Structure 1
Amino acid sequence: PNKINQISSNSIHNKRDNRSRKHNKYGFQLKPYNPEHKPPGSKDLVFLELLAPGFCEKNPRLGIQGTHGRQCNETSYGVDGCDLMCCGRGYTPQEITVVERCHCTFH
């Protein structure tokens, strides 16, 4: 089979099917993750994993600064915590001692 037929047979919406234009308003076709699997039928449940832009990597077009080089809080489980902010890349703990004048008066 030629390449065009393979793509059509592996997609959920066949391009020759007039209904595909109505149901496929986003302009993409779904294909099996593994090309050796049979394509899903009309009554099969299909799981879709979307690749949304994340905050980890810099993306100037979307205004995302990325998280490389930022300080994180090793003890926090929130968005400032190292587990989330470092996106699984790992991090190097650093202990910083800050000396401040407290403007205390002793009596």
Structure 2
Amino acid sequence: MKLVESFLPGAPARIEAELKRADAGDTGFAFALALVSELASKMDAELKAIRADVAERQKSLADHYTGPWRIDQEYQRNALVTHRNSLWLSLTQTDTEPGKGPTWKMVSKGDKPA
């Protein structure tokens, strides 16, 4: 059960409960069934997180563009704005002006000063 606990925290208690409910002659099957159920549950949760991450990464740059930078707006991580004829990417959630700190990265420098 220590091996099961290392991969599936809390699972041994649920598996032992399943074994107590099983008939005396069918504990091997009950253990396998409980273990598979725990693994499926854990995999389902991890797959949901992976799918959400992939969906976020598949967004195009246009999905992140929020328009010209505005002093009265807070920007989420990965927001793209234009400011002083340049394109900026927010590295964290921020309300600071692009170029005034470490929360923005210039993606494309404009050809004319603003």
TM-score (norm 2): 0.28
Q: Which has the higher helix share?
A: 2
Q: Which has the higher strand share?
A: 2
